[in-house]
Structure formats: structure tokens, C-alpha cells
Amino acid sequence: MSKFPIEAEGFELFARAHHVFSESLRVHQFKAICHRPAYAGQLKDLGDLMNASQKSCKEHFNCSCPELDDLTGLCL
């Protein structure tokens, strides 16, 4: 018997893995955009990646909170 009881209906492994791998891709894409010479739409491209990251955190990894969701909404 484990001394760390697990209280979960499911681990949502696919959703968690989806977030981790897609977040890794977004980090590489963000870095690539930052290393390019400035171009029209660059800030929008970076913002789109950040928005996708927050959405994935909320929907796939369940690591958001109402305050962060509110702040993201205000920023958008």
C-alpha cells in the first residue's frame, strides 16, 4: 500500500501528453520567431503562441486558475 494515496478518477494521460508536446513545439516556434529579423505581424505571431499556451494549460493540463483566466481575458 502506498503512503501517497491517489485520489483521481483518471489521469487524463492523453490530454497531459498533448499539452507537454504541443507546449514544447510552441517554445521552439517562439524562439525561432524571436531569432528572425523583425517583420510585420511578429508580435501577433508571438501573442498567438502565448494564447495557445494558456488555452492548453487550461484545457489539457488543468494548471490554470480563475485569476489567470481573468487576466488573460483582460489582456485579450
The answer to the question of residue 67 being in a domain is yes
Report if residue 1 sits inside a domain.
Answer: no
> Is residue 30 in a domain?
yes
**pTM over the 0.85 mark:** no
**Per the structure, how many domains does the chain have?**
1
Q: Is the pLDDT of residue 50 over 80?
A: yes
Tell me whether residue 8 is in a domain. no
- Per-residue model confidence (pLDDT) at position 11: 81
Taking CB atoms within 8 Å and a gap of at least 24, the contacts of 19-24 are: 19/56, 19/57, 19/60, 19/61, 20/61, 22/52, 22/56, 22/60, 23/53, 23/56
Domain assignment present for residue 7? The answer is no
Tell me, yes or no, whether 2 lies in a domain. Answer: no
Return the C-alpha cell found at 38: 523583425
Distance between CA atoms of residues 1 and 76, nearest Å: 48
Would residue 5 count as lying in a domain? no
- What percent of the chain is predicted at pLDDT more than 90? 74
Is the pLDDT assigned to residue 1 strictly greater than 60? no
pLDDT tens per residue, range 25-38:
999 999 999 999 99
Tell me the residue range of the domain where 65 lies.
Answer: 18-34+41-75
